[in-house]
């Protein structure tokens, strides 16, 4: 009989990723119960006032075939077990029954235990006390029933449909390593947003009153006091607020600025900030509509502001960083990452924000900020006027050709790149070979030396993965079939198997093209963000809200590569750079390569796995629907055959790697 042979947990400040491996089929196994155990600093379990250990079985939502969960209410993995060899602990910080977040700086480990049908001689899984639910009463149309005072009417109902399935333990629990749940990693503070908006819980929130109002989601994301906004923004907002509590001056280079709370922080610090604010896109023949109000607000507050206006489709000032300089001191810290200073950047997309507490790294960013300021662009009149020839100067481009390298303690190193760093304004045409920019050449070299895994998240680095990190990772993965290449993108055009529609000169469609949701080639797996949009699919899962709903925009906005997170030679690549040629040729960008820090690599790897795993299932279902094929039933299997593809197929490769 098979058994669990290894188990390991990985975490950042938001979620944990738990993986385990088995050496063969566990007879009768219907899945795994997973329990989070809180620990003291010495590794012993925390005791509650009752004397019991502080433990929590992880929640689960998918019922067994023959049951139903129409309200999408959670049970736990002792009732509906995990039929996978990996799991994301999404409730490590985020509660699923309230908008309050759990504290960080806690220590945990996990227990994974196989379960099957209850039979004589087996230890039964104890009941969890969630046999009934106290919920709002709904009418036939799904709307909340209210009393004469307009208050919701409550009722007790069965927690789920169908007969309970008594389960028992099939063996002992496997224990993972101990974890510290924290954003603080040496000189770094790593934070991630929770804007994965194709999710059942969000649909439930928006449908709490029986319907989704027009722009309801967008209104929640833009309201500074709304709990959903805070919930989705995670620790990124607190990090920004805390940074501006420090004494001294701040130097900012921003692409977009469109958020009431963030604008308020800047106005409150008007006398000690210096801002380079680029333009946003064109709308109705005018440029910078989205930044216009915030730009005027900063001007009216007397902020030292440089208007960096490209106002054309070739260039953008894509930076989003802040340098902190203490009073009478040198640069001390820099905040960078992919998070735009907008409501959707904070709460409507997946993003990251990294604070680096290092004088040399902060100094490199301040030097770049000064070079941006010393590379003035023509100021259009009015500011919304198109400027087709506006571009960075050649001396500025030349100054970005080499990186700043910083050696830190404990084997860490940082390489900071800035762009544009090519003398050409944009890469050559489709039929011409473009020179590889130096920053991407550095990344390609790291990818070429990867020994175990290349993980990534990207918005839209390039069409069909050409001239960007996607193509390089695929090429390496095909040459080395032992290498895991795993990633997710937002744009269908970024998928390597994308094929655009072709028309003749009269507009007749010659080729309908293809916008695939998945790309799988052995050890290579790439997905794009998708949602469940058909009520008949996937059992009790309902139609989801997509991030683009209500004008929110991109879904996956991260620009991340993680290489060999288990090894001392690991690397994390992040910043504003979209990881393709265009960013290096055309845009104001910044990019950090952090090597030799396994804790930081683990934090970013968990973020990649969180987003990838979330959208992998949805992308596969969307692809099957497009092909007219039957997808997943939406229910747990009622026998043990589900294990086969994990211990004997490619599906087990990812959990097997992270279980070691």
Q: Could you tell me if 221 and 75 lie in one domain? A: no
Q: Percent helix, strand and coil across the chain, each rounded to 5?
A: 25, 30, 45
The pLDDT of 167-187, averaged and rounded, is: 97
Sheet holding 571-575, edge to edge: 404-407, 413-419, 589-595, 571-575, 560-563, 453-458, 484-489, 524-528, 518-521
**Is 636 part of a structural domain of the chain?**
no
Categorize the per-residue pLDDT at 625 as very low, low, confident or very high, splitting at 50, 70 and 90: confident
Lowest mean pLDDT across 37-51, 95-109, 193-207, 276-290: 193-207
Residues 86, 204: one domain?
Answer: no
Q: Is residue 645 part of a domain?
A: no
Question: Which of 93-97, 308-312, 501-505 shows the lowest per-residue confidence on average (mean pLDDT)?
Answer: 93-97
Domain assignment present for residue 197? The answer is yes
State the CATH number of the domain containing residue 244.
Answer: 3.30.870.10
The pLDDT tens digits for 98-125 are: 677 889 999 999 999 999 999 999 999 9
- Answer yes or no: do 410 and 546 share one domain: yes
Which carries the bigger pLDDT value, residue 248 or residue 144?
248
Assigned domain for 446 exists? yes
Does residue 422 fall inside a structural domain?
Answer: yes
Residue 381 has pLDDT above 80, yes or no: yes
Closest listed residue to residue 29, CA positions, set 50, 6, 5, 2: 2
Exposed/middle/buried for 378, CB within 10 Å: 0-12, 13-18, 19+?
A: exposed
| Arithmetic mean of pLDDT, 79-87 | 97
Its pTM stands at 0.94
> Is residue 282 within 8 Å of residue 386, measured between CB atoms?
yes
The H or E element spanning position 129 is: none
| Same domain assignment for residues 464 and 337 | yes
User: Of 213 and 20, which is predicted with more confidence?
Assistant: 20
How distant, in Å, are the alpha carbons of 265, 331, 340 from that of 249?
13, 9, 21
pLDDT tier, 544 (very low <50, low <70, confident <90, very high otherwise): low
The mean pLDDT value for 17-28 works out to 96
**In the chain, how many domains are there?**
2
CA 259 to chain centre: 20
Instruction: Give the per-residue SS3 of 432-483.
Output: CCCCCCHHHHHHHHHHHCCCCEEEEEECCCCHHHCCEHHHHHHHHHHHCCCC
Half-sphere exposure for 380 (CA within 13 Å, toward CB): 20
| CA–CA separation, 67 and 503 (whole Å) | 49
Same domain, 188 and 175: no
In a domain, 651, yes or no: no
110 and 244, same domain (yes or no): no
Both 353 and 436 in one domain: the answer is: yes
Task: List the helix and strand counts (H, then E) for the chain.
Answer: 15, 36
pLDDT, residue 548, reads: 42
Domain end among 181, 196, 223: 181
pLDDT score, position 418: 98
- pLDDT band per the 50, 70, 90 thresholds, residue 512: confident
In order of 73, 182, 441, 471, the CA distances from 420 in angstroms are 50, 34, 14, 21
Q: Of the candidates 123, 151, 181, which is a domain's last residue?
A: 181
In-domain check, residue 103: yes
What's the CA gap between 53 and 56, in Å, rounded? Answer: 9
* 644 within some domain: no
State the pLDDT confidence band at 212, using cuts at 50, 70 and 90: low
- The whole-chain average pLDDT of the chain stands at 91
Tokens representing 309 are 């206006």
**Tens digits of per-residue pLDDT, 227-281?**
888 988 999 999 999 999 999 999 999 999 999 999 999 999 999 999 999 999 9
Residues 496, 387 within the same domain: yes
Residues 250 and 373 in one domain: yes
Tokens linked to 190: 């790593």
Q: How do 188-192 and 184-185 pair as beta strands?
A: antiparallel
- Same domain for 107 and 157, yes or no, is yes
Please check whether residue 167 is in contact with residue 67, taking contact to mean a CB–CB distance below 8 angstroms.
no
Q: Are residues 532 and 395 in the same domain?
A: yes
Residues 172 and 274 in one domain: no
Domain of 63 in residue numbering reads as 4-181
């Amino acid at each position: 009989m098979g058994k669990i042979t290894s188990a390991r947990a990985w975490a950042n400040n938001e979620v944990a990723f738990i993986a385990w491996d088995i050496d063969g089929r566990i007879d009768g196994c219907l899945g795994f119960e997973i329990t989070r155990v809180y620990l003291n600093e010495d590794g012993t379990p925390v005791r509650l006032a009752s004397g019991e250990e502080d433990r929590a079985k992880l929640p689960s939502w998918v019922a067994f075939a023959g049951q139903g969960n129409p309200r999408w209410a959670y049970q736990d993995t002792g009732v509906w077990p995990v039929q996978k060899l990996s799991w994301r602990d999404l409730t490590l910080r985020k509660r699923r029954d309230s908008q309050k977040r759990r504290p960080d700086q806690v220590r945990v480990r996990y227990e994974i235990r196989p379960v099957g049908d209850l039979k004589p001689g087996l230890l039964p899984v104890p009941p969890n006390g969630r046999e009934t639910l106290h919920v709002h009463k709904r009418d036939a149309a799904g709307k909340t029933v209210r009393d004469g005072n307009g208050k919701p009417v409550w009722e007790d109902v069965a927690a789920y449909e169908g007969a309970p399935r008594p389960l028992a333990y099939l063996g002992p629990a496997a224990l993972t390593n101990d974890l510290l749940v924290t954003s603080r990693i040496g000189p770094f503070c790593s934070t991630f947003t929770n804007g994965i908006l194709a999710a059942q819980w969000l649909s439930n929130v928006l449908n709490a009153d029986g319907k989704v109002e027009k722009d309801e989601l967008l209104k929640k994301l833009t309201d500074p006091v709304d709990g959903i906004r805070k919930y989705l923004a995670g620790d990124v907002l607190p990090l920004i607020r805390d940074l501006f509590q420090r004494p001294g001056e701040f130097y900012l280079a921003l692409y977009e600025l469109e958020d009431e709370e963030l604008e308020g922080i800047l106005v409150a610090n008007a006398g000690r900030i210096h801002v380079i604010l680029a333009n946003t896109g064109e709308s109705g023949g005018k440029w910078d509509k989205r930044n216009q109000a915030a730009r005027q607000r900063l001007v009216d507050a007397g902020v030292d502001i440089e208007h960096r206006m490209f106002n054309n489709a070739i260039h953008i000032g894509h930076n989003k960083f802040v340098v902190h300089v203490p009073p009478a001191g040198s640069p001390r810290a820099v905040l960078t990452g992919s998070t735009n200073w907008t409501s959707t950047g904070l709460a409507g997309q997946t993003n990251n924000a990294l604070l680096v507490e290092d004088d040399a790294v902060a100094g490199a960013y301040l030097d770049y900020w000064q070079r941006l300021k010393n590379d003035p662009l023509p100021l259009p009149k009015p500011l919304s006027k198109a400027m087709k020839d506006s571009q960075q100067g050649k001396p500025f481009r030349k100054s970005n050709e080499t990186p700043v390298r910083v050696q830190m303690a404990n084997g860490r190193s940082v390489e900071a790149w800035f762009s544009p760093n090519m003398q050409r304004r944009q890469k050559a045409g489709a039929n011409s070979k473009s020179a590889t920019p130096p920053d991407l050449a550095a990344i390609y070299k790291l990818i070429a030396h990867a020994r175990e895994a290349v993980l990534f998240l990207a918005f839209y680095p390039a069409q069909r993965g050409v001239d960007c990190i996607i193509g390089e990772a695929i090429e390496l993965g095909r040459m080395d079939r032992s290498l895991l290449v795993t990633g997710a993108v937002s744009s269908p055009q970024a998928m390597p198997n994308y094929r655009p529609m072709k028309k003749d000169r009269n507009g007749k469609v010659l080729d309908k093209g293809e916008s695939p949701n998945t790309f799988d080639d052995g050890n290579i797996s790439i997905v794009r963000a998708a949602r469940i949009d058909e009520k008949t699919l996937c059992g009790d899962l309902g139609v989801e809200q997509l991030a683009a709903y209500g004008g929110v925009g991109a879904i996956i906005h991260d620009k991340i590569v993680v290489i060999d997170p288990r090894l001392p030679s690991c690397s994390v690549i992040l910043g504003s750079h979209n990881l393709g040629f265009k960013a290096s040729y055309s845009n104001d960008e910044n990019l950090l390569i952090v090597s030799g820090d396994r804790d930081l690599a683990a934090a970013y790897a968990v973020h990649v796995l969180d987003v990838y795993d979330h959208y992998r299932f949805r992308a596969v279902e969307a692809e099957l629907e497009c092909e007219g094929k039957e997808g997943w039933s939406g229910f747990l299997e009622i026998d043990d055959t589900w294990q086969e593809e994990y211990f004997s197929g490619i599906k087990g490769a990812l959990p097997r790697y992270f279980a070691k």
